[in-house]
A = this chain, B = another copy of it.
Amino acid sequence: MNQRPKSKSPPSSHHHQQQPYSNVKTLTLASKMARKSLIKPTLATVFLLLSCYALFITFLSPTDPLFDSREKLSNDLNFPGNSPPVKVYMYDLPRKFTYGVIESYAKARGGGDVKELKYPGNQHSAEWYLFDDLNREDRSGSPVIRVLDPELADLFYVPFFSSLSLVANPIRPGSVGVVGDEAPVYSDEEMQEGLIEWLEEQVYWKRKNGWDHVIICQDPNALYKVVDKVKNGVLLVSDFGRLGRDQASLVKDVILPYSHRIRTFDGDVGVQSRKSLLFFMGNRYRKEGGKIRDLLFQLLEKEKDVIIKHGAQSRESRREASQGMHTSKFCLHPAGDTPSACRLFDAIVSLCVPVIISDYIELPFEDVIDYRKIAVFVDSTSAVKPGYLIKLLRRVSTERILEFQLELKKVKRYFEYEDPNGTVNEIWRQVSLKLPLIKLMINRDKRLVKRDLPEPDCSCLCSNQSRIHNTL
């Protein structure tokens, strides 16, 4: 099967009769080539040989599924070429886990008419985009293939809207949880447990212990009650702030970007229209790593070309933040309750160079994006030293800022969920990359015999590089 036609030397005889060709319509191309001069027969030969070669490569080469399908079926390996696209099966979950969450969200907010189901805009809407993407009729251009037969699937996607479910009921758990005198509107915890009950009845869930399942919990608190039961799967998360090291990792899981909440900046690179040095607008008071925010407010709020404001999520503050991010050179990204926040992605689409002060942040798609080229990282300890941060940023030349902006422009599409060549495709590509390790773990788990292990049986990739104070 690896034989290829050997190239022959040109024919020794160049004599040929030209006229008769003109009637042979079936060989138009070749005859046209052969008609004009004496060297054309050689050209025609070359054409034919190339054609034969090309025919062979196109229709008979070993990568053609016609010829190696047996191989693929028997061994699931396409060797030595590239891997075939990963096949994803999306569960047809009971409606309450998908559209039902949108309905509950609307109802809890007094939305009477839920005929027009619209996923509400929010920073954790990847669950909507992925669901919507797999439901598209024309999925050409996607890095994964959706299959409707679970037997054909490499991976199983569980499209529960877990992040929206977390906030569907605006009344906090523990409080009364009723509207007027009615029963509790919605219980996210019940939904989480309901999902697990449903999953644990699925034959494909049991078959491989969940390793080949992809589960989205973009809000750091989504699925908090049951995450231990789905931890074998590929988790699509924002960060590992609420997850243990036995539950999630860079190796097993995929870090998603937040959906940016402010307008994309459509202008060109440049600093003329960016008069402020640094911009931040957001909640001044946060828990844990986010406590640094208040310290930064104290340090920065009196600097002249720095805009730093307390503000909550609202349409008006988003408008104001758009304005601020589009007219500043740098945008501050301090940790929130967990290391990640949507502000980083707002800054990126604003071409406002992010200044990341979040020591434990994990970043989306870091195999293809070198964040040092688009952002400045400063460690928390240094950042709260009086004068340190502002001095550092003032030293950055305009040329350097333009370089950052050019790079931001290049990678912007990775953070646009609505770009057909944007975030959604990249998430699926990242998920695809997990497949070989998933398969390895599945095969290995099933053959492992009883052993006495002094510690958990883990395969790790470790780093020991965290010595720098800032990346400028």
Contacts and interface: CB of A to CB of B under 8 A. Distances in A.
Nearest to A253: B459
A467 B452 CA distance: 10
Contact of A466 (B34, B77, B449, B466): B449
A469 B207 CA distance: 19
Most-contacted residue by chain B among A41, A246, A457 (CB, 10 A): A457
A154 B13 CA distance: 49
A356 B457 CA distance: 19
A147 interface: no
A463 interface: yes
Contact of A17 (B15, B24, B251): B24
B42 A53 contact: no
A267 interface: no
Interface residues of A, number: 109
A245 interface: yes
Contacts of A45: 26-27
B461 A456 contact: no
A29 B461 CA distance: 57
B26 A44 contact: yes
B466 A76 contact: no
Interface string A1-39: 010000000010101110111011111111000100000
A466 B420 CA distance: 44
A174 interface: no
Interface stretch (A198-206, A321-329, A376-384, A391-399): A376-384
B420 A2 contact: yes
A379 B451 contact: yes
A388 interface: no
A373 to B, nearest CB: 9
Interface string A435-472: 01101110111111111010011111111111111110
Nearest to A57: B58
A81 interface: yes
Given A20-B20, A26-B41, A460-B245, A366 B449 contact: no
B27 A30 contact: yes
A59 interface: yes
B466 A450 contact: yes
Contacts of A464: 456-457
A430 B355 CA distance: 37
Given A55-B54, A79-B421, A420-B2, A463 B447 contact: no
Contacts of A178: none
Given A20-B20, A55-B54, A468-B448, A443 B366 contact: yes
B50 A55 contact: yes
Most-contacted residue by chain B among A44, A428, A457, A461 (CB, 10 A): A461
A446 B464 CA distance: 11
Contacts of A445: 463, 465
Contact of A58 (B15, B54, B466): B54
A136 to B, nearest CB: 13
A452 B246 CA distance: 20
A85 interface: yes
A360 B460 CA distance: 16
B372 A80 contact: no
A451 B463 contact: no
Contact of A460 (B11, B30, B58, B251): B251
B449 A379 contact: yes
A359 interface: yes
A253 B388 CA distance: 41
Most-contacted residue by chain B among A13, A42, A81 (CB, 10 A): A81
Nearest to A357: B449
A250 interface: yes
Interface in A70-113: 74-77, 79-83, 85
A417 interface: no
B16 A26 contact: yes
A460 B16 CA distance: 71
21 contacts: A11-B25, A15-B23, A24-B34, A50-B58, A51-B51, A54-B57, A75-B369, A82-B85, A245-B458, A250-B444, A251-B437, A251-B460, A359-B451, A367-B439, A367-B440, A382-B450, A446-B471, A448-B463, A449-B468, A458-B461, A460-B461
